[in-house]
Amino acid sequence: MSIKFTYSSLYTFIQQVFLKIGCSEKDAKTAADTLISADMRGVDSHGVARLSGYVRLWEANRVKANPVIKIVHETSSTAVVDGDSGLGLVVAHFAMNVAIEKAKNCGTGWVSVKNSNHFGIAGTHAMMALSHDMIGMAMTNGSAIVAPTFSVEKLLGTNPIAVAVPSGKEQPFVADFATTTASNGKLEILQRKNNEAPGGWLQTKNGEPTTDAHALKDGGALLPLGGDKEHGSHKGYALGSIVDIFSAVLSGANYGPWVPPFPAYIPMPENGPGEGIGHFFGAMRIDAFRPADEFKKNMDQWIHRFKNAKAVEGQERVYIPGEPEIEMEKDRAENGIPLLEVVIEDLKKIGEKFEIAFPEKLS
């Protein structure tokens, strides 16, 4: 069902596509880097499978290939960045660098972004902070496919949060998760297999709980982390709301039901109160709190203790957030990135359109 490709061959292809739509060399590289990092980390829904989606947004004039991304307001620890309708992959990279520079000067940096588009995988942006001995944070809102607790209407995106924390000898701690019970990517896997979804993932268009994995397409909604009130869905709803507020109300982007959709064929919501979609980034310099080596020593102990906790029967062991992704990265660097045939067909069509040779499969 899937065929494997090398990192470098896919990377070259993606980069060429971004060059063909008019991105600068630098931006094409940044966009390709971010996109393929999702495939490497096993978040296939946010990787090369989305390339054609970005191209279609550009074709629909919803994305500019050569935006003038700039800071429109700032203090020593904060900024608002206007993405000028650029690729979110590129806008996010710019904004996270602003947060890091601010943190160098005054301990922390916090950047809210408006007028952007889908930024790809949150974790990769947050991880930019790690090499600077900083904690990194990244979040974004998205178009409304999630119903708040007790709501029939969809008012929130899956609004992910990523937090990356440096460590010493151990691998870094990298949390990266949608604020819903399950991400849309996980749901798509069940849809393809025609499997039922677990309870707590979805509701019907009337707001009733359902295990029908296709409910979202039939007017239903994804549910906030927790699933229902009894299991804490008001907490997932609060988390998704915080992401929406930090990303869009702070910056002047669209929020709630007014966030522009990723698929170019879906009409833009009317009467949007802001510009584009919104993101939020943070960077905290470790030594703005305590010496980095002391912190890392403690962080290593934290990770070691959790990794070595006694596991429940039937499970091998306890994982640190980000650990499965690191294992996946090693595997894919060695054995290639598997792509579904439907994704390959989609990429081949882009290749034909732009006259770029699609890479040979691995081996």
Residues of span 4-63 touching a second copy by CB under 8 A: none
Q: Residue 78: phi, psi to the nearest 5?
A: -135, 160
- Owner of token pair 């990303």: 247
The helix (run of H) or strand (run of E) holding residue 115 is strand 108-116
Interacting residues with a second copy between 218 and 257 (CB under 8 A): 225-227, 230-232, 234-239, 241-242, 244-246, 249-252, 255-257
Stretch that binds a second copy, among 123-131, 315-323, 329-337, 338-346 (CB under 8 A): 315-323
Interacting residues with a second copy between 65 and 94 (CB under 8 A): 73, 75-78, 80
Among 24, 66, 298, 335, binds a second copy (CB under 8 A): 298
Stretch that binds a second copy, among 5-13, 35-43, 89-97, 280-288 (CB under 8 A): 280-288
Indicate the SS3 state at residue 227.
coil
Classify strands 78-82 and 108-116 as parallel, antiparallel or unpaired. parallel
Stretch that binds a second copy, among 2-10, 59-67, 317-325, 334-342 (CB under 8 A): 317-325
By rule CB under 8 A, what count of residues binds a second copy? 86
As beta bridge partners, residue 277 has: 116
C-alpha radius of gyration, the chain, whole number: 20
Q: Which is nearer to a second copy, 238 or 340 (CB)?
A: 238
Contacts of 103 (CB under 8 A, 6+ apart): 109, 129, 132, 134, 283, 284, 285, 288
Terminal CA-to-CA distance of the chain, rounded, Å? 16
Rounded to an integer, what distance in angstroms lies between the CA atom of residue 83 and that of residue 69?
Answer: 5
Q: Which is nearer to a second copy, 130 or 238 (CB)?
A: 238
Count of C-beta atoms within a 10 Å radius of residue 293: 12
Cβ 258 to a second copy shortest distance, Å = 9
Cβ 28 to a second copy shortest distance, Å = 30
Cβ 248 to a second copy shortest distance, Å = 8
Interacting residues with a second copy between 168 and 197 (CB under 8 A): 173, 175, 177-182
- Owner of token pair 């934290």: 302
Count of C-beta atoms within a 10 Å radius of residue 34: 24
Whether 225 and 233 have beta carbons less than 8 Å apart is answered as: yes
Interacting residues with a second copy between 106 and 165 (CB under 8 A): 106-108, 110, 112, 135, 148-153, 155, 163, 165
Q: Which is nearer to a second copy, 122 or 343 (CB)?
A: 122
- Integer CA distances (angstroms), 141 to 2, 105, 146, 346, 358, in order: 31, 28, 11, 26, 33
List the structure tokens of 75. 């203090």
Stretch that binds a second copy, among 44-52, 125-133, 300-308, 352-360 (CB under 8 A): 300-308
Cβ 9 to a second copy shortest distance, Å = 32
Binding status of residue 361 toward a second copy by CB under 8 A = no
Q: Which is nearer to a second copy, 7 or 319 (CB)?
A: 319
Q: Which is nearer to a second copy, 58 or 295 (CB)?
A: 295
- DSSP letter at 146 equals B
Q: Residue 248: phi, psi to the nearest 5?
A: -120, -40
Maximum Cα interatomic distance, the chain, rounded to a whole number of Å: 55
Cβ 285 to a second copy shortest distance, Å = 8
Among 25, 59, 218, 294, binds a second copy (CB under 8 A): 294
Among 50, 64, 285, 332, binds a second copy (CB under 8 A): 285
Cβ 119 to a second copy shortest distance, Å = 18
Rounded to an integer, what distance in angstroms lies between the CA atom of residue 212 and that of residue 159?
Answer: 22
Count of C-beta atoms within a 10 Å radius of residue 72: 12
Stretch that binds a second copy, among 261-269, 283-291, 334-342, 344-352 (CB under 8 A): 283-291
